Amino acid sequence: MGLFNYNIEKYSPKQLVIIPLVILAISLVLIALNTVATGMPVTPGIDFSGGTAVTVITTDTKEQITSYFANYPLIEVSDMNNGKFLKFGLMDDAKYTSLTSLVNQKYPNARIDQIGETFGKALQSQAVLALIFSFIGMSIVIFLSFRTFVPAVAVVLSAFADMVMTAATMNIIGIPLSLGTLAALLMLIGYSVDSDILLTNRVLKRQGKLNDKLSGAFHTGIIMTSTTLAAAAAMLIVSWFGAIQILLEISTVLLIGLLFDIMNTWLTNVGILKWYVQKGGGK
């Protein structure tokens, strides 16, 4: 049936959930370490930590730019169409004035944007609250929809694991938390529950053998997820060739989160539901 054969009849619930739970535990440790180091679960970008962003139209290489601004806290040099995007860390007023003068001297048409540390800290708090309230809202809707504790917990746990694993991977590969990647994480909350709701409804509200219901739900769910993966991959390719940094980061976060969602839906959630049904829950 279809391109994939999904048959987990020979696997116990414990075998299904063990690998995702180990990865979740490792991810939580990595996030805890990053929180201790930076004060945020995901390393904050310039939007949340404060600093100076400079957009220049130039053919200079990254090495030339790095050398030119060697006396300033240059964090990153990114490619963009016909130029470069520079990120500098926090500086005092004298240093910032000096940097502005140096930039205007070499790149007269440069655009300089400064984000203060206080404003960045305020955005940090708002970002954390946005993620927390979005997750709580999703959890309330799930519990009201199913009104059965174990299946609802399975959906919420899978969504939580998606977020945690994606955040840990962002720290590993060096994607900072920006307004764009925050939006991607918020979108993941919605994406992550789609296949979980489909799976849970198929298992609890339809008659038939458990393995047949799981297989049917998988083939429908994997098609849904694949279309979103294809869209995110297309955006990644376009942003890569177009050197659009913000779209590149958003598409990368979405791809990572969706891949983790496949694992958490069809291993973690299925494992919990299989245990629940074997214990007499559902039809």
| Contact present, 50 and 119 (Cβ < 8 Å) | yes
pTM, rounded to two decimals: 0.83
The two structure tokens encoding residue 64:
């030339």
- In this prediction, residue 128 carries a pLDDT of 79
CB neighbours of residue 178 within 10 Å: 22
Kindly report the number of other CB atoms within 10 A of residue 121's CB atom.
Answer: 15
pLDDT at residue 1 in the model: 42
- Residue pointed to by tokens 């839906």: 265
**Would you state the pLDDT for residue 120?**
67
For 11, the 3-state DSSP assignment is coil
pLDDT in the model for residue 92: 82
Model pLDDT, residue 233 = 93
DSSP string, 98-113: HHHHHHHHH-TT-EEE
Per-residue pLDDT of the chain (283 residues; tens, 9 = 90+): 445 667 777 888 899 999 999 999 999 999 999 999 888 888 888 878 778 888 888 888 888 888 888 888 888 888 877 788 888 888 888 888 898 998 888 888 888 888 776 666 777 778 778 888 888 888 888 888 888 888 889 999 999 999 999 999 999 998 988 888 988 988 888 888 888 888 888 888 878 888 888 888 888 888 888 898 999 999 999 888 877 788 899 999 999 999 999 999 999 999 999 999 888 765 5
CATH assignment of 51-115, given 1.10.3720.10, 3.40.50.720, 3.30.70.980, 3.30.720.210?
3.30.70.980
Closest CA to 252 of 226, 234, 227: 234
Looking at residue 254, what is its pLDDT? 94
CATH topology of domain 13-45+118-278: Multidrug efflux transporter AcrB transmembrane fold (1.20.1640)
Residue 250: the pLDDT is 92
Instruction: Determine the angle formed by the axes of helices 149-173 and 245-263, rounding to 10 degrees.
Output: 140
What residues does each domain of the chain span? Answer: 13-45+118-278, 51-115
Helix (H, G, I), strand (E, B) or coil at 90: coil
